Amino acid sequence: MTNIVPESARIGLLQPASVRGRLAPSPTGYMHLGNAWSFLLCWLSVRSKGGTLVLRMEDIDPDRSRPEYVDGIMRDLEWLGLNWDEGPDVGGPYGPYVQSQRYDRYEEVIRQLQEQGHVYPCFCTRKELRALASAPHAEDYGAAYPGLCLNLTQAEREERTAQGRNAALRLHCGDHSLGFHDLLRGDICLTWEECGGDFAVRRSDGVFAYQLAVVIDDADQHITQIVRGDDILHCTPRQVLIYHLLGKPAPSYAHVPLVFDHEGERLAKRHHHFELRMLREAGVRPEAVVGYLAFRAGLQPEPAPARPEAFSHSFMLEKVPPVRVVLEQDIINVLSSL
């Protein structure tokens, strides 16, 4: 097994003169405390280095993205004091900063990958893939795609198209390992199977995949540092590979621990009682949220009201405790008391 990604891309050795980071929320729901946690750490990491912060709306999912969520996210960020330098509202040199306005760019890269022979049509349906119970699994990330459509002949592809079956486009890697350097976890190396196997860069309904869009956006917008939740860590080798195929240097990565409720369930957008707008309506102050999260990040000895800029000069991402954040059962009362 070989590593096809060169050393400079593999461990993210891009060392820019000025850091460019990004907040990249998906407007498929309102912000909750878990989002606030990762966005605060991202904001602090960029501001501590005197860098530039980009706000980008990742509304690549047309079925779930809503304008009201866009407005709500921006309001919540402003409420917390997490400002940005470029974005949908203020513009900037590398716009547009909304994914739904960048479809032509994604299509251009798809054509490039097709011409290079890196992608192939896949006619497998979701039902067929779910039925592959014997497919190898990558921990809890789901079954690795077994390559059913990889070696179809042109005649077989034409036959499936004639049957009215729409094809997704999958990116093929082969029997290789992929790696990168994480600022919190060190060197990470996964096999292609552990990454999920050949993955879709465009769905059968024509929707561009997150894995593709996020790399194109970050490359075009010159993002040099990415701070995000560690639930995305298994996707990062895929994204580093796309950087390599496009001839672009990979940014540095830091995957921060996630936030869980008192029962050990990871916060998600269905947990409405943890939404910032609900906390705000309950009378919780933004300084309380920031101060509490800063305490959990080891930035102050106890939970106490604070503004983000209070930590922007001394913040060191590498010192964030590498353990998940478990909220108290009465977290709303805790925050209300600060």
Selection from 306, 314, 271 nearest residue 30 by Cα: 271
- Would you say residue 1 lies in a domain? no
**CATH code of 156's domain:** 3.90.800.10
Per-residue pLDDT at 135: 40
User: Residue 325 gets which letter from DSSP?
Assistant: E
Selection from 226, 337, 229, 227 nearest residue 289 by Cα: 337
Per-residue pLDDT at 12: 43
328 and 237 share a domain?
A: yes
Q: What is the dihedral of CA 153, 157, 162, 165, to 10 degrees?
A: 150
Q: What is the DSSP string of 177-198?
A: EEEEEETTTEEEEEETTTTTSS
229 and 162 share a domain?
A: no
Selection from 151, 137, 170, 186 nearest residue 238 by Cα: 170
User: For residue range 1-56, what is the model confidence (pLDDT) as tens digits?
Assistant: 345 444 444 434 444 468 999 999 999 999 999 999 999 999 999 999 999 999 99
Per-residue pLDDT at 194: 86
Helix and strand numbers (H, E) in the chain are 11, 12
- Would you say residue 4 lies in a domain? no
- Would you say residue 3 lies in a domain? no
CA atoms within 13 A on the CB side of 161: 11
- The predicted model scores a pTM of 0.91
Report the distance separating Cα 9 and Cα 76, nearest Å. Answer: 35
User: For residue range 44-94, what is the model confidence (pLDDT) as tens digits?
Assistant: 999 999 999 999 999 999 999 999 999 999 999 999 999 999 999 999 999
Per-residue pLDDT at 273: 83
Q: Measuring CA to CA, how many Å separate 267 from each of 192, 220, 336?
A: 28, 31, 20
Residues of the chain scoring pLDDT < 70: 1-17, 132-143, 175
Selection from 259, 323, 255 nearest residue 32 by Cα: 259
Report the distance separating Cα 174 and Cα 15, nearest Å. Answer: 30
- Would you say residue 158 lies in a domain? yes
Last residue of a domain, one of 188, 210, 232: 210
Structural domain that includes position 65: 9-100+212-336
Per-residue pLDDT at 132: 62
Per-residue pLDDT at 142: 55
Q: What is the DSSP string of 23-57?
A: E---SSS--BHHHHHHHHHHHHHHHTTT-EEEE-B
Q: Give the max Cα distance, the chain.
A: 68
Number of structural domains (the chain) is 2
- Residue 54 — φ and ψ, nearest 5°? -110, 135
Residue 302's CB is within 10 A of a number of other CB atoms, namely 8
93 and 127 share a domain?
A: no
189 and 286 share a domain?
A: no
129 and 189 share a domain?
A: yes
Q: Which residues are paired to 253 by β-bridges? A: 182, 226
Report the distance separating Cα 337 and Cα 20, nearest Å. Answer: 36
Contact (CB, 8 A) for 236 and 255: yes
